[in-house]
A and B are shown apart, each in its own frame.
Chain A
């Protein structure tokens, strides 16, 4: 929203530069920024007085003017000779003079010119030449009081600075969408209260009492208040200059007096208005109703909108003539022939306005105000202000009695103010400051709050007594019916509301919220509870609770009695039998408190923290002295996943992997052939980001092409979430954390599968997951995405215990990768107890054995067979592996290096030979392996 510095200054008369003002507002109200300074372009145009006029010797239509002015930065006045063709000038007038070097808004630069033989040292300006309007009939004649030599922008009020307010920071402050709103804040910053001149306009002329408007509010839920008045004798003409300038300054185009006034009032006090051409309404009628499904309206923007049945419209007898609170209709708009208007000032349901405005993407100035929920005093006030302006700048006359219709809730909100109970010590505790009660009072007063310091219990009792004998009816509204008629809990709720405490609506919720007190300790104002006739039941009160009264002390109670059908005063014994007694609850913690009444224009002030914010921002946040937290320290359990995730990242970095972060989505190509396993974004930014990833690999693989130019080989990894299409019982998507990496080799240096497998082995060793728990299996058929990404023949699934936790292998020539489900992996990690074993003190023996086996024989099977021979075989390392024609086509050769060691004796030669033979026999038996000597 844009604010005019000059406009604000006119209201408040403060002594701050635009920059200073913006800074104060930013620090204490809402983010404000100086965005534009206007009027500077009229730099060298100054006020001049016409001293003499003579005819031009060479031209009939031209005159020679002697003008008295003062050049910028000079103290003496100067006389200049100007050639001028305008007929309207007279000696003694004050006129705008463009000096040599001035640059007019239309781009013309003023130079010394010889016109028909006479030198002109400047130019007198007409309205259009100053960019003020269309008038070129004559030179603009200024006020006689204008000071000679004064810059014209000052005289005409053209120099202004525009401040932009960040709308999102005042979303909760509907009162701030106007100059008055900010003027009020500036007053508060200066420690004063804004007491504006309210327009004193009589909208209820008795002579017009029988001239009522034909208006019907069909939906008073969505239109809680509608005010309108008819004005006649309208002349459609441009607004006076001051009005045009105000609007131009804040970026609103001046159209004509009528439209300008409605816009002006909106910018000034924040209430959007609308003017209908009264003669264009079918049957002169206005109806506020819901649109018919499919009904059309051509709006002021010349667009046709097809309405739905939940859009509120203003209609005449035939058709919609405005989209309520958002935009006017073309059919009833003000045009050059308008003679009579109906001026509307209303209050609309913010939610409905917001939905409709978003439905048609019509974020008009009016809509952004109504959707915030405007204060209830605005509509009538806005209408009065508009009428006042009409009377001031035109000859229009009021031509009807005021139409005014408000719903019950709106009426209540007009008369009742929100009350909030605060305790100054609590406010100080909450903010961590030590403000004096006087300081708190003065700040709250500057923003329009009323403060009543009171004995809370006495206040409650006094109010309770005033309600005696009022009628009882079950289920009445605490807002609309109180204080005329009550039920038991609406009475207590009403009474507490008067001291600024908001209780829940019914007795069971009230008893559950208060502090429990023994009857002997009960004080006046505490609530007493009983089973009642219509009890509620819950876990705490399986025996039922349904009645509440207010304790007066001395065993007396005031309550709304269903049997007496009125509010009565009685004894505790009469209030409840021993059997039905449910206890006492307390809602007042301190005897004396401050009951704050919020001003009507501040619907956002609801709770203690709202007031604390007002106090602190106006006192200044910089005055808070930071205090360290004093929470007792407790041992914090590290998040397992995050702990190991961070370690794994470091380990991978040690293995030359560089970490990258990728987006969480990809396109259709990447999600094939399992698109249906992907969660789709409802509103992707582009088709390449349409699906939530179920693997990190597709986006990692895209990096190969990106980095090829600069890197011939590299290793990258990512740790991040994937999103499975499983909605868990915890009401969340199954979203495991994965760690994935790819290796890109420049030349085929090693077999890529083993290259990647080594990394998995390394991680397993680091995580202390025993080798025996890990298995590598062919990729199962159901892992369709894995089978697509990996070369199935040279890849494997990784299984730990009974769970598949990932995949690794070759992706394409020179490129391999892995993907591990970290969430699963971490869950499988057992207690990391490492148990030390004393190294054997007996000497180890080393043996090398080579075998020829069938090609299809798995290394892992050979190793486990060897291991089973004896626990003395401590270590088995493969040191040679080859296939050669001399072995036979289907054969391969493997050579193992064994370390054999006993824990309890020194091995003797015979023992070793026996062990060796056993191994050979075992492998021969199991795999038809042939021992091959070196």
Chain B
């Protein structure tokens, strides 16, 4: 029986590959595979009569044959389709390259920024940028980080000289002159500016350039970008915060993100949390990207501190809200697998033109 199947196989293969027109393939298909009268249908009847020992072996061979026939039919069909164009001698070579149109490229941080901005816009958030030069008050004091507080160690800061500034005549010089100017170390001063100028409900995201006075290496830059989220209303809860972040990350990375939350101290939120996401590279097993921890620090967040509400003049106990800060650079690095943060500002077009 097995020999018989083998012979049949050889015969059918020859037949299929000698066909020159698609329509003939249909005929072959009908001849062998038709349900009732096809040759294979006949064959299976005979297999049914075999002994119990032979039956399974022959059955298996039969099934394989059937699969092969289908495969060959498909293969030949494709070959014939290709040939039909080849044969047309007047046709152009459609595989030649098209006319070259030169392209420009957007910076990866712009692409990510745009994506982030689109996600939040779609959720009905206001998108802002803010100024990069800030005052000490907005960058620190108003955010519950008084001048002599040890928490200031968390932000190494670029300060500005004020000696050649031209002051608007409307300003009371003495108070403004004493105010220190600096390059914002985070986008959080915009929390204060937004809350001082608007009343809740607020759903705002600020995306912009920030600066830290620190040496650069593969993981650190003195110039970087932050995404600041701010939501204020009556009865905003920590679980809202987590939902928002989860939603955002899922949308951004286009997949369900495994994360963990752990306590972290930021003076302008309470509770303060850090969100780690499961390492993309090793999926939590531990690798060099995540320093063997399985987790990547993704963002800091928390519930807005009552002292911050007090500072912006909101009535006590009326509102609750949350805030978060995400490194835009970090998101871009994860998304595009960029191994060194310094690429972003190098201006090496071999980098920029990959995006």
Which A residues are closer than 8 A to B by beta carbons? 26-31, 168-173, 350-351, 354-355, 368, 371-372, 429-433, 513, 607-610, 612-613, 616-617, 621-622, 624-629, 631-634, 636-639, 641-642, 646, 649-650, 652-664, 676-685, 692, 699, 702-703, 706-707, 710-711, 714-716, 720-721, 723, 725-729, 731-733, 735
B140 interfacial contact with A, CB 8 Å: no
Judge whether B305 is part of the interface by a CB distance below 8 angstroms.
yes
Cα distance, A646 to B348, chains bound together (Å) = 22
Pairwise interchain contact B271-A613, C-beta atoms closer than 8 A = yes
Interface of chain B: mostly helix, strand, loop or mixed: mixed
Contacts of A31 in B (CB 8 A): 262, 264, 274
10 CB < 8 A contacts A-B: A31-B262, A170-B265, A354-B148, A368-B150, A661-B109, A679-B160, A707-B348, A716-B349, A726-B165, A727-B171
Cα(A173)–Cα(B264), bound, Å:
11
A613–B270 contact, CB under 8 A?
yes
Interface: B230 (CB within 8 A): no
* Stretch of B6-14, B38-46, B128-136 contacting A (4+ beta carbons < 8 Å): B128-136
B239 touches A658 (CB 8 A): no
- Specify the chain B residue showing the minimal Cβ separation from A349: B148
Interface residues of B, CB < 8 Å — how many? 91
B354 to chain A, nearest CB (A): 10
Which residues of B are found within 8 Å of A663, using beta-carbon distances? Answer: 223, 345
Cα distance A657–B353 in the bound complex, in angstroms: 10
Cβ B261 vs Cβ A621 within 8 A: yes
Interface residues of B (CB under 8 A from A): 102-107, 109-110, 114, 117, 121, 124-129, 131-135, 148, 150-151, 153-154, 158-161, 163-168, 170-171, 176, 179, 181, 183, 201, 203, 209, 211, 213, 215, 222-223, 231, 233, 235-240, 242-244, 246-247, 260-265, 267, 270-274, 303, 305-306, 315-316, 320, 344-350, 352-353
Given the known A-B contacts A168-B153, A613-B271, A732-B133, are A629 and B160 also in contact in the complex, defined by CB atoms under 8 Å? no
Chain A residues positioned under 8 Å from B238 (CB to CB): 430-433, 612, 616, 624
Residue of A351, A609, A662 with most chain B CB atoms under a 10 A cut-off? A609
- Given the known interface contacts A607-B270, A609-B303, A631-B201, the answer about A636 and B125 at a Cβ–Cβ threshold of 8 Å is yes
A650 neighbours in B (Cβ, 8 Å) = 106
- B124 nearest in chain A by CB position: A633
Q: How far is the CB of B268 from chain A (nearest CB, A)?
A: 12
Which listed residue (B163, B237, B344) contacts A429, Cβ 8 A?
B237
Residues of A within 8 A of B135 (CB): 731-732
The listed residue (B166, B176, B243, B267) touching A627 by CB distance below 8 A is B243
**Known contacts A639-B128, A727-B176; A616 and B271 CB within 8 A of each other:** yes
Q: A691 CA to B306 CA in the complex, in Å?
A: 38
> A609-B303, A649-B106, A728-B168 are contacts. A680–B263 as well, Cβ < 8 Å?
no
- Chain B nearest CB: distance from A189 CB in Å? 12
Complex formed: what's the CA distance from A429 to B150 in Å? 32
Please measure, in the bound complex, the distance between the C-alpha atom of A622 and the C-alpha atom of B263, giving whole angstroms.
Answer: 12
**Contact A26:B348 (CB < 8 A) given known A431-B237, A725-B166, A727-B166:** no
Given contacts A616-B238, A679-B165, whether A658 and B349 have CB atoms under 8 Å apart is yes
Contact B127 A639 (CB under 8 A): yes
Select B104's contact among A172, A652, A703, A725, beta carbons within 8 Å.
A652
Q: How far is the CA of A658 from the CA of B345 in the complex (A)?
A: 13
**Known A660-B107, A733-B133; contact A725-B165, beta-carbon cutoff 8 A:** yes
B336 to chain A, nearest CB (A): 14
Give the nearest-CB partner of B200 in chain A.
A631
CB–CB B164/A629 < 8 A: no
Q: A168-B154, A631-B233 are in contact. Are A658 and B353 (CB under 8 A)?
A: yes
Give the docked Cα–Cα distance between A662 and B303 (Å): 34
Establish whether residues A609 and B262, one from each chain, have CB atoms under 8 Å apart when the complex forms. no
Q: How far is the CA of A45 from the CA of B170 in the complex (A)?
A: 80
Q: Assess whether A169 is in contact with B264, with CB atoms less than 8 Å apart.
A: yes
Cβ-neighbour of A681 out of B154, B161, B270, B348 (below 8 A): B161
Chain B residue numbers with a CB within 8 Å of A702 are 347
Q: Given the complex of chains A and B, what is the CA–CA distance between A685 and B156 in angstroms? A: 11
Q: B150 and A354: CB pair below 8 A? A: yes
**A637→B153 contact, CB < 8 A:** no
Query: Are A172 and B151 touching (Cβ within 8 A)?
Result: yes
Q: Which residues of the partner chain B approach A631 to less than 8 Å between Cβ atoms?
A: 124, 201, 203, 231, 233
